[in-house]
């Protein structure tokens, strides 16, 4: 199963920048999108279907905000919209699909960059989601968690760790959550194959030229539970795909 996770920062904007032409290149079997900022009924689905993709959407109640979707050439056995956590579900943050005995979760983690109120929400969301994942893992030992986590885990995952210690996305509390997450049986699929530095998936639009100079953050992940660790045969980041301020991250998992 070839999987991509991609925060498109507005699917309609990404389509205007060549997203459909990129899809024609057959980049993956399953494509998990975050921050679609669109509702299913407002998008023309015909181009996706012509390329062989089924599409599943979980949008925010607020128009033009958040939202996740999955385009897949493999028909899922089951689709679950949200987690039952109303505050999160109202923002369209989690979409779950079953492929045989593999349970895939596409998640758009909250950002805290707009202020302390959202940062507090982010911490509460992380704690609730951690507990939720632990419960789901009891039922599905083989899990894949794709998404924009809005957290750079280690210093290697950010271009300026010293200057960003107090910045949302690299605060000690957020990095400690990632430590706890990986200590509880999750594996960073990218780092299995790529221990090298300077590999990023997001570049701020606030500072011109940071993408060209590769001053970025790695905040997009495809992580797997331990039973799938040896099944991850490849992983990559595609910084030259430019429909968004993020780029796609990729993994191949033998299932």
Q: What is the pLDDT of residues 51-93, one digit of tens each?
A: 999 999 999 999 999 999 999 999 999 999 999 999 999 999 9
Question: So what's the pLDDT on residue 114?
Answer: 87
How many domains does the structure of the chain reveal? Answer: 1
Q: What is the pTM of this model?
A: 0.97
- What is the Cα gyration radius of the chain? 17
Q: Is 159 left (phi over 0), alpha (psi -120 to 50) or beta?
A: alpha
Query: Which phi and psi angles does 174 have, rounded to 5°?
Result: -70, -40
Give the DSSP H/E element, type plus range, for residue 25.
none
Q: And the tokens for 225?
A: 């539970």
Query: Which of 130, 67, 72 lies closest to 98, judged by CA?
Result: 72
- The CATH number covering residue 180 comes to 3.60.10.10
245 belongs to the catalytic site: no
Residue 218 near residue 157 (C-beta atoms within 8 A): yes
The catalytic position among 29, 44, 148, 220 is: 148
Q: Which domain holds residue 225?
A: 2-253
Half-sphere exposure (Cβ direction) of 83: Cα atoms closer than 13 Å? 25
Residue 176: what pLDDT? 98
Return mean pLDDT, the chain: 97
How far apart are the C-alpha atoms of 109 and 105, rounded to whole Å?
Answer: 12
Tokens of 3: 């999987």
Instruction: Yes or no: say if 188 and 182 are a contact pair by the CB < 8 Å rule.
Output: yes
């Amino acid at each position: 199963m070839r999987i991509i996770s991609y925060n498109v920062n507005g699917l309609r904007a990404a389509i205007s920048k060549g997203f459909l032409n990129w899809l024609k290149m057959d980049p993956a079997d399953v494509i998990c999108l975050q921050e679609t900022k669109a509702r299913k009924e407002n998008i023309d689905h015909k181009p996706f279907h012509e390329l062989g993709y089924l599409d599943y959407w979980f949008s925010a109640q607020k128009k033009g905000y958040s939202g996740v979707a999955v385009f897949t050439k493999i028909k899922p056995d089951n689709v679950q919209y949200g987690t039952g956590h109303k505050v999160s579900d109202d923002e369209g943050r989690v979409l779950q699909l079953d492929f045989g005995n593999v349970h895939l979760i596409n998640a758009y983690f909250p950002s805290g960059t707009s202020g302390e109120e959202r940062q507090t929400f982010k911490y509460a969301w992380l704690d609730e989601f951690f507990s939720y994942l632990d419960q789901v893992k009891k039922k599905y030992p083989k899990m894949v968690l794709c998404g924009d986590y809005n957290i750079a885990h280690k210093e290697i995952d950010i271009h300026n760790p010293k200057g960003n210690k107090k910045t949302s996305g690299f605060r000690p509390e957020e990095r400690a959550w990632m430590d706890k997450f990986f200590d509880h049986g999750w594996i960073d699929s990218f780092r299995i194959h790529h221990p090298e530095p300077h590999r990023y998936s997001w570049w701020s639009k606030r500072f011109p030229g940071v993408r060209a100079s590769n001053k970025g953050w790695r905040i997009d992940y495809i992580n797997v539970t331990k039973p799938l660790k040896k099944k991850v045969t490849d992983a990559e980041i595609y910084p030259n795909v430019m429909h968004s301020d993020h780029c796609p991250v990729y993994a191949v998992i033998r299932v």
